[in-house]
Amino acid sequence: MLLLLFDKWLKKQQECIVNNSLWKYRRVVTVTVHFFFLTFLLSLFLSLSRSLTLSLSLSLSQIGLMSVTVFPVRLLLVSFLMLLAWPFAFTASLGRSEFVIEPQSWWRRLIDLCLRVIMRAMWFCGGFHWIKVKGERASPSEVPILTVAPHSSYFDAIPVTMTMCSIVTKLESRSIPVWGTLISYIRPVFVFRSDQDSRRKTVEEIKRRAQSGGEWPQIMIFPEGTCTNRSGLILFKAGAFIPGLPVQPVVLRYPNKLTKSTLLSSRFKILWLTLCQPHNPMEIEYLPIYTPSNEEKENPALFASNVRKLMAKALELPLTDLSFDDREISLSQGPLRIYDYSGLLEFNQLVCRLGAGTRDMVIEEQAKRARKLQGDRLALEDFAQFLNLPVTDTLTQVLSLFDQRGDGQIDVRHFVIALSTVHRPSKSMETLRLAFKMYESEENGDVLEEDLATILEIMLGVKEVELSCLFLALDQPDKEKITYEMINECLSSCDMVDGVHQTVKERNRLSTVSENPWKCFIYIVFKSKLQLG
């Protein structure tokens, strides 16, 4: 290649010399040098692009080429087909009850068929040309619930559009233009994930549909409750398993696996990289029906755990004891947000294994019973009776987390505070109010300094807090007691943004206040109140 180019260069030289055209000679030399330089850069770029492969098994050069050729065409076709499906879904949803299933008329059956064809064509234009399906899907009368995992992206909607099963999805999906109408067509069960009462209603609706004897469409549930990177199966939520009915596990495989960085990127990046692939292979496997035992019917957490193990074995993936709630805990915000959540994550995982009730009304009831005990410590058997659970190794582990004295006993108030913290990490003030109800005196509703320290240690996930700055800032006769109203007012008057989101320099400067850096947190939070006083 280079010899041929050099030969052409020599011929040009000879022509220029023969014609006595010095300016042509110089021009040829300049163009030739530029040509060789650009050739070198192109060769270097191609060699680098071959060594640097993206998570989609495409080189950088391929991504660049597909981005300006195939991607816009595919995006246009996918958008057109989605818009084409919208009037069909909108028309079929008119006048339809969301609570009663009616016999499907002929025109609705025709619309259903049209939607299946349009959606399959949409996925085809997106690069999912053929989809491998293993096993057979059971009928709704046999199995009302299909559990699907792992959940990694919105391309997991492919089996939903192929079967037109109902799904459990977040309430925000309904407001998505066009796509929200398509979702509403399949009669989903909407859940507002940050609202625990909404979760309870969702479970009740799933149970109602599952026990309808096949009248309702099957429900496809992604029991992980959130998207992951497909490197393992996180803890399953118990909602799909509470009815205690047989389920059919469904596993999804993408042979051209996306890397973790791609799967955790923005939805637009995933869409772009997916549409830039020549072909997107996908496998859907329907595993044998799983019928729960009597023990699993009584313990949905055990039921979910066993199904998860079965699906992980089929996928050849490891199990990880993390859940969607763990993510909420790690991202908690607010004036009393969790600072060291490792212990609370462990506690939450144990609670999930126990299958203990975590609804607001259950926690409130436990708080009332804990208050009546007035700090009396319970042994393992009494603790199991308090929770209405059998004595198990998991329950023993939970007790050991709160057994500071090492005598095998627990103050159940500590358990209730921790349960409320992991159950609603975004509502720390509600947890604080609940804790005050368990600790406050009947005379004036105040709490001792040492009790408040214990409450904050559990809520913040730290070993020790120092409250001297807080009590110095309070203008009251009794410096060792505080009411909820006082601390609420104190927190509200502080500049929490400056206090919580402190710089590293500020943290280091304040570390001289105490050997324990977590004591500095209380000092920072209440410093503005102290200065005002």
pLDDT in tens, 500-509: 333 333 433 4
Q: Do the domain assignments include residue 357?
A: yes
For the chain, give the mean pLDDT.
75
pLDDT above 50: residue 25: no
Q: Do the domain assignments include residue 39?
A: yes
**Tokens representing 32?**
């030739």
Give residue 8's pLDDT.
Answer: 56
pLDDT above 70: residue 208: yes
Residue 98 CA: distances (Å) to CA of 62, 184, 205, 206, 209: 47, 10, 11, 13, 12
Domain boundary among 463, 494, 519: 463
Give the highest mean pLDDT range of 129-133, 322-326, 470-474.
129-133
Q: Do the domain assignments include residue 407?
A: yes
The pLDDT tens digits of the residues spanning 44-59 come to: 444 444 444 444 444 6
Give residue 102's pLDDT.
Answer: 63
Give residue 351's pLDDT.
Answer: 82
CA distance 518 to 533: 23
Q: Are residues 154 and 281 in the same domain?
A: yes
Strand 189-191, strand 131-134: pairing: unpaired
The confidence band for 474, taking pLDDT boundaries of 50, 70 and 90, is low
pLDDT above 50: residue 18: no
Q: Are residues 242 and 328 in the same domain?
A: no
Domain boundary among 442, 463, 484: 463
Calculate mean pLDDT across residues 341-360: 75
The pLDDT tens digits of the residues spanning 383-440 come to: 888 888 888 888 888 888 888 888 889 998 999 988 888 887 777 888 888 888 898 8
φ, ψ of residue 139 to 5 degrees: the values are -75, 160
Calculate mean pLDDT across residues 295-309: 90
Q: Which amino acid is located at 189 in the chain?
A: V
Give residue 343's pLDDT.
Answer: 76
Q: Are residues 339 and 431 in the same domain?
A: yes
Q: Which of 413, 200, 401, 238 is nearest to 323 (CA)?
A: 238
**Residue that wins the pLDDT comparison between 492 and 42:** 492
**Tokens representing 69?**
């050729």
Q: Are residues 232 and 105 in the same domain?
A: yes
Q: Are residues 404 and 478 in the same domain?
A: no
User: How many residues does the structure list for the chain?
Assistant: 533
Domain boundary among 447, 463, 479: 463
Q: Which amino acid is located at 125 in the chain?
A: C
Say how many C-beta atoms besides its own lie within 10 A of residue 324's C-beta. Answer: 16
Q: Do the domain assignments include residue 61?
A: no
Q: Are residues 312 and 174 in the same domain?
A: yes
**Tokens representing 24?**
């042509």
**Residue that wins the pLDDT comparison between 260 and 83:** 83
Calculate mean pLDDT across residues 83-93: 90
Boundaries of domain holding 21: 2-51
Calculate mean pLDDT across residues 347-354: 79
**Residue that wins the pLDDT comparison between 95 and 459:** 459
Calculate mean pLDDT across residues 515-523: 40
Q: Are residues 427 and 292 in the same domain?
A: no
Beta bridge partners of 448: 481
Give residue 505's pLDDT.
Answer: 36
Q: Are residues 101 and 191 in the same domain?
A: yes
Calculate mean pLDDT across residues 206-232: 84
Q: Are residues 203 and 83 in the same domain?
A: yes
Give residue 329's pLDDT.
Answer: 63
pLDDT above 70: residue 530: no
Q: Do the domain assignments include residue 157?
A: yes
Q: Are residues 31 and 131 in the same domain?
A: no
Domains held by the chain: number: 4
Calculate mean pLDDT across residues 24-45: 46
The confidence band for 277, taking pLDDT boundaries of 50, 70 and 90, is confident
Q: Are residues 303 and 375 in the same domain?
A: no
Q: Are residues 345 and 197 in the same domain?
A: no
Q: Are 275 and 75 in contact (CB under 8 A)?
A: yes
The SS3 of residue 374 is coil
Q: Do the domain assignments include residue 494?
A: yes
Say how many C-beta atoms besides its own lie within 10 A of residue 478's C-beta. Answer: 12
pLDDT above 80: residue 6: no
Burial of 526 per CB tally in 10 Å (0-12, 13-18, 19+): buried
Calculate mean pLDDT across residues 55-70: 71
Pick from 82-96, 130-144, 284-298, 518-532: least confident: 518-532
Calculate mean pLDDT across residues 129-144: 92
Residue with tokens 């950088």: 60
Pick from 145-159, 189-203, 303-317, 325-339: least confident: 325-339
The confidence band for 327, taking pLDDT boundaries of 50, 70 and 90, is low
Q: Do the domain assignments include residue 16?
A: yes
pLDDT above 70: residue 264: no
Give residue 160's pLDDT.
Answer: 92
Give residue 486's pLDDT.
Answer: 78
Calculate mean pLDDT across residues 328-334: 61
Calculate mean pLDDT across residues 2-20: 51
Q: Do the domain assignments include residue 449?
A: yes
CA distance 449 to 464: 13
Give residue 393's pLDDT.
Answer: 87
